[in-house]
Amino acid sequence: MAKEREDWNELTPEETRVIINKGTEMPFTGEFNGFKEKGTYICRQCEAALYRSEDKFNSGCGWPSFDDEIEGAVKRVLDADGRRVEIVCANCDGHLGHVFEGERFTEKNTRHCVNSISMKFIPHE
Which residues participate in catalysis according to the annotation?
Answer: 113
Give the C-alpha separation, 64 to 80, whole Å: 22
Give the C-alpha separation, 72 to 30, whole Å: 25
> Who's near 84: CB < 8 A, 6+ residues apart?
98, 100
Q: Which helix (H) or strand (E) holds 18?
A: helix 13-19
